[in-house]
Amino acid sequence: MAQDSDDAIKAVFEAAGDAPQGEPAPDVLSDRVTLPGIGPRAWEHPADRAALEALRKVPGFDTVLRRSFGFVSERSLRLLYLANAVEVTPRQFKRVHALFTECCAILDAPKRPQLFVSQYPIVNAGAVGVDDPFIVINSGTLDLLTDDEVRFVLGHELGHVLSGHVLYKTMLHLMLRLMLTRIGLPGMLLTGVVMALKEWDRKSELSSDRAGLLCLQDPAAAWRVHMKMAGGSRVDEMDVDAFVEQAAAYEAGGDVRDGALKFINLLGQTHPFPVLRLAELKRWVDKGDYAAILAGDYPRRDQGSDFRADVTASVEAYRESVADSDDPFMKALRDLGTTVGDGAGALWDQVRDLFGRGKKAGDDGPDAPDEPGPRL
C-alpha cells in the first residue's frame, strides 16, 4: 500500500511537470484509500450530473460559451494571481502542497491544477478559469481550519475541476452581472435561465462536498468544516453532534409557512446553507454510497455515461428528497401530490422527446458520448 501511494504521488507530480528534485514525496497517504481511475460520476449528485449532460448534448454549446467569454482572459487571471498571490509548490506552503498532492492522488486527477493562496481574511476557496482551471484558497480558510479540514476544502475544489463545473459556473456569474446591468424584457428573459442555473449550482456544491469527503475520509471532520463555516473558529464553544442535531431540527422544524420561507430563502443562494450541506452529505454517507466507493465499487472515467439513466436518477433523487423529507412544506406538497419529482418527470418526457426525434422505434435514447461526462 505504501509503495502504491508513493507511486501515485510521483505520477501526480510528473503529470503536473513540477516534481521536486532530490526531495522525497511526503508520506501522507499511508492511512487513506486511493481510488484509481475513479470517474466524477462517483461523487456527482444526480441532478448536477443530469443538468451537465443536458448542456453537453447541445451541439457546440461549450464552444459558444468559450468564445462568448473570450473577453475574460484566463491568461490574465492566471497572471493576476501569479503577481498577487502565493503559488503552492514544494517550497511554498509545503504542508498545503502535501495535502493537495494527497487529494490529487486519491481522486487520481489526470492533471494537477495550479493552486494559489490569496491573502484575504474571508473564509473561501474557488476554482477559476475555463480551459485550464486553477484553484485559489484564501488565507482566512487556512487560519480557520485544521490540516484535515483543509483536505476537505481542497478535495471539494478539485471535485469542481474534475467534474467540469468551472465553465458553467463562470457562465452563471457573468449572467448575474448581465442581469444587474439590464432592465426590462432582456433581464426578465434571463431570470428563468439564471434560476435554473442556480439550482444546478447548489447541486454542484453537494457533489463537490462528496469529493471533499473522499479526500478527507473522516465524516466527523467534514461535519466540523460546515460547523465552522456557520459559527467560526471558537470550536470550544461548539459541538459537532449538536450541530448535526441542529441540521435535523432545521429540516423538520416549524410549520408549512416556515417550510415555504426556507424554500424561498434558498432560491436566491448559489450555495446551500451549511446545515443543509451537512444534512445532505450525512445522508449520502448513511445510504452507504461513501463506504461502497472506499471499498472500490465506483464508476471509472473510461466507462462513459448514459444520459437517459442520468436524468432518470435525477428525477428519482428529487422524488426521494421530497418523500423522505420531514419539512412541513414538503410534506404538504407530498400530500397534495405536487412534488418536485412529478415536475421533473414531466421534464424528462420533454427531454426524451427532444432527443428521441429521428430515432428508430424501440431505441432507448441517445447514444452515450465518447468521453465521460467559487465559493467553498
pLDDT exceeding 90 applies to what percent of the chain? Answer: 38
Chain segment 260-312, per-residue pLDDT in tens: 666 666 666 667 888 889 988 999 999 999 999 999 999 998 876 654 555 55
Q: Is the pLDDT of residue 130 over 70?
A: yes
Residue 74's identity, in one-letter code, is E
| CB-based burial, 16-35: b 16+ in 10 Å, e otherwise | eeeeeeeeebbebbeebebb
More confident residue, 179 or 342: 179
More confident residue, 86 or 312: 86
Backbone angles phi, psi at 92, to 5 degrees: -130, 130
Task: Please state the pTM of the whole predicted model.
Answer: 0.71
Ranking 127-141, 220-234, 237-251, 339-353 by mean pLDDT, the lowest is 339-353
What distances in angstroms separate CA 245 from CA 127, 278, 325, one per listed residue? Answer: 31, 11, 15
Backbone angles phi, psi at 215, to 5 degrees: -75, -40
Label residue 168 by pLDDT band (50, 70, 90).
confident
- Alpha helices (H) in the chain, listed in sequence order: 2-16, 46-57, 61-68, 74-84, 94-106, 139-144, 147-163, 166-181, 185-216, 219-231, 240-252, 256-267, 274-286, 289-294, 307-323, 328-336, 340-356
**What is the domain partition of the chain in residue ranges?**
2-356
What distances in angstroms separate CA 83 from CA 43, 77, 78, one per listed residue? Answer: 34, 10, 9
